[in-house]
Amino acid sequence: MNTDQIIQPERRLVWFRSDLRIHDNPALFSACQPSDNGQPAEVIACFMRPEKQWQQHDWGSNKQRYTERCVLDLQQTLKSRNIPLLTLDVSDFAGQIHYLLKLCQVLSISQILACEEPELNERHRDAQLIASAGAIGIKCHFFNDQSLIPMGQLLKKDGTPYRVYSAFRKQCLNWLESHPVTTWPDATVNLSQQQPFIELNASEWPLWQPESHSADQIQQQWPASEQQLLQTLDRFCTEGIQQYDTARDYPADQTGTSKLSAALACGKLSVRSCWLAARQVQAVDPQYQQAASCWCDELLWREFYRHLLVLYPDLCKRQPFKPETRAIRWRHAPNDLKRWQQGKTGFPLVDAAMRQLIQTGWMHNRLRMLVAVFLSKYLLIDWREGEYWFMQHLIDADLASNNGGWQWAASTGTDAVPYFRLLSPYRQAERFDAEGKFIATFLPELADLPAKKRIKPDIGAILYPEPMTDLKKSRQLAMEEFKRLSN
Ligand SMILES: Cc1cc2nc3c(=O)[nH]c(=O)nc-3n(C[C@H](O)[C@H](O)[C@H](O)COP(=O)(O)OP(=O)(O)OC[C@H]3O[C@@H](n4cnc5c(N)ncnc54)[C@H](O)[C@@H]3O)c2cc1C
């Protein structure tokens, strides 16, 4: 036989970034399809850890470690499907491009496939990769993944972006009527029957082996296994979503919300799977129509902020959405900031929330709103300080949702809370933690007090700080500052 006539299978590289899963992954699915000539393709995968870039993007260790665990789980699953996942340490985005091109050359790869990311630097990097790879004959394919509707493509009739959530939501629902959400099948099982495991000579690469961080107390609380997370979604849709509309605002209720945000932020779960699971609940049991629809609305807030990030790239540059709010004279008050960060403001619900963040790497949504309003309005401290602190500590840290949430609370964003509507720490506690259960969990020094006193302890009666500010006066100060903008 003439060996010249043997056609080598086409080799494709799946570059995993924030889509760390095998189910419903459009890039992985497409890579596993046969070549145009009908021959099976060979699939290799990679993840490139850009640690320096992560730090520049304010990722704290909770988010970094969680990502690492998600990569490890992905590597193990892919291995069982005969797909090697090469994990490299590359410092920054420039390093990612350098090593991707090198991998393509050394391993004779003809295509790179990946899922899109909405952040500005990430999009610049991808554009640069397309140009550099194209120059040496390598094709790049990027797939919409992080949103139900391709990011940035849902526009008003006049071609401008939606700036108000309710109108955006309405149009999303219309769009989804005519473009029903579907998921991508897992094609790796078929592939593994055709492709023997490809051993790569790894000695020439800056290898990095992800760790399980099994001794880390925060990580222990957050599953990073794809299988487990799919089960969590399933369980939430059988036992939790049914009460979501009534339970979601009560931070002491452990099962009131899905706690899937970290998995969604890392792409360990897809938003399409979540959406379809909720729709399934509605189809099977109409009595849960409203509860499931309420959960879908939260997925659409996530969607809204992703679209905004793509359409208003200045949001990625620490700029407020409303330019006039650049003139706000935020207080430079490092000691006050520190008290807020450490949960020592003297307002129990705020402090319990800030301690929940430090102890668990997560905070309930109602409390995120409360502490963000507290910092940006009552303390009149720049929202970017809070945004940074959240990025440093949240296991689900995510630029689009975090920036969206902070600009909402600080009234600098589009469709934000009106500047004069402040959430009172006491009133919020009376409404959403009336028995002081949540407060007692994170402020054990108040646990022995009766509920009312947990919410508002007597000054000096116990070892707990006095309120750091007079709510009435500080509200007044914030109102004057915001009013000044409109004069
Ligand atoms: C100041 C502030 C900062 C925030 N920072 C982040 C962040 O860094 N990362 C993050 O994922 N979410 C952030 N959120 C949104 C929200 O608080 C979390 O997504 C939610 O608490 C996660 O818990 P869950 O998974 O149980 O949510 P569920 O209530 O079960 O909601 C399901 C999913 O919908 C999405 N979602 C829910 N609420 C919102 C919302 N208000 N905005 C955008 N998406 C939402 C999340 O992906 C969430 O996992 C922030 C909100 C505020 C007010």
pLDDT tens-digit map of 109-168: 999 999 999 999 999 999 999 999 999 999 999 999 999 999 999 999 999 999 999 999
With respect to residue 60, please indicate whether it lies within any of the assigned structural domains.
yes
Ligand 1 pocket mutation, candidates 232, 396, 414, criterion most atoms within 8 A of CB: 396
List the one residue out of 284, 377, 338 whose CA is nearest residue 465: 338
Residue 6 has pLDDT above 70, yes or no: no
For residue 101, what pLDDT is reported? 97
Radius of gyration of the chain (CA): 24
437 is in an annotated binding site: no
DSSP letter at 133 equals H
Inter-residue contact 11 to 31 (CB < 8 Å):
no
| 153 and 299 together in one domain | yes
Q: How confident is the model at residue 1 (pLDDT cuts 50, 70, 90)?
A: very low
For residue 357, what pLDDT is reported? 98
| 93 and 114 together in one domain | yes
- Report CA(401)–ligand 1 centroid distance (Å): 7
- Report CA(432)–ligand 1 centroid distance (Å): 18
With respect to residue 217, please indicate whether it lies within any of the assigned structural domains.
no
Ligand 1 pocket mutation, candidates 401, 406, 411, criterion most atoms within 8 A of CB: 401
- Report CA(153)–ligand 1 centroid distance (Å): 22
With respect to residue 291, please indicate whether it lies within any of the assigned structural domains.
yes
> For residue range 403-449, what is the model confidence (pLDDT) as tens digits?
999 999 999 999 989 888 999 999 999 999 999 999 999 999 999 99
Q: Mean pLDDT of all residues in the chain?
A: 95
Here the CATH number for the domain that contains residue 257 is: 1.25.40.80
The range of the structural domain enclosing residue 410 comes to 323-482
Inter-residue contact 133 to 100 (CB < 8 Å):
yes
With respect to residue 210, please indicate whether it lies within any of the assigned structural domains.
no
- Report CA(261)–ligand 1 centroid distance (Å): 6
For ligand 1, say whether the CB of 371 is within 6 Å of any of its atoms.
no
With respect to residue 212, please indicate whether it lies within any of the assigned structural domains.
no
- Report CA(302)–ligand 1 centroid distance (Å): 7
With respect to residue 459, please indicate whether it lies within any of the assigned structural domains.
yes
* Chosen domain end from 283, 311, 339: 311
| 173 and 294 together in one domain | yes
Active-site residue, 365 included: yes
| 331 and 448 together in one domain | yes
The catalytic position among 190, 365, 430, 481 is: 365
| 304 and 169 together in one domain | yes
> For residue range 198-221, what is the model confidence (pLDDT) as tens digits?
888 777 899 999 999 999 999 999
Average pLDDT over every residue of 460-487: 92
For ligand 1, say whether the CB of 12 is within 6 Å of any of its atoms.
no
Q: Whose CA is nearest to atom 23 of ligand 1?
A: 259
Ligand 1 pocket mutation, candidates 249, 302, 356, 357, criterion most atoms within 8 A of CB: 302
More confident residue, 99 or 198: 99
* Chosen domain end from 311, 332, 354: 311
> For residue range 225-269, what is the model confidence (pLDDT) as tens digits?
999 999 999 999 999 999 999 999 999 999 999 999 999 999 999
| 429 and 293 together in one domain | no
| 174 and 133 together in one domain | no
Active-site residue, 205 included: no
Tokens linked to 393: 């500590």
Our count of domains for the chain comes to 3
For ligand 1, say whether the CB of 70 is within 6 Å of any of its atoms.
no
Q: From the alpha carbon of 248, which atom of ligand 1 is closest? A: 29
Active-site residue, 54 included: no
Average pLDDT over every residue of 377-382: 98
| 279 and 389 together in one domain | no
With respect to residue 393, please indicate whether it lies within any of the assigned structural domains.
yes
For residue 195, what pLDDT is reported? 83
For ligand 1, say whether the CB of 298 is within 6 Å of any of its atoms.
yes
* Chosen domain end from 311, 331, 355: 311
Active-site residue, 406 included: yes
Average pLDDT over every residue of 388-414: 98
The H-assigned helical ranges of 204-288 are 226-235, 244-247, 261-266, 271-284
Here the CATH number for the domain that contains residue 92 is: 3.40.50.620
| 362 and 235 together in one domain | no
Residue 284 has pLDDT above 70, yes or no: yes
With respect to residue 236, please indicate whether it lies within any of the assigned structural domains.
yes
For residue 462, what pLDDT is reported? 80
Residue 465 has pLDDT above 70, yes or no: yes
| 151 and 120 together in one domain | no
Q: Given strand 111-115, what is the order of strands in its sheet?
A: 85-89, 42-49, 11-16, 111-115, 139-143
Here the CATH number for the domain that contains residue 434 is: 1.10.579.10
For ligand 1, say whether the CB of 258 is within 6 Å of any of its atoms.
yes
Residue 3 has pLDDT above 60, yes or no: no
Q: How confident is the model at residue 8 (pLDDT cuts 50, 70, 90)?
A: confident
Pairing relationship of beta strands 85-89 and 11-16 according to DSSP bridges: unpaired
Active-site residue, 330 included: yes
| 106 and 157 together in one domain | no
| 131 and 167 together in one domain | no
Tokens linked to 213: 């961080």
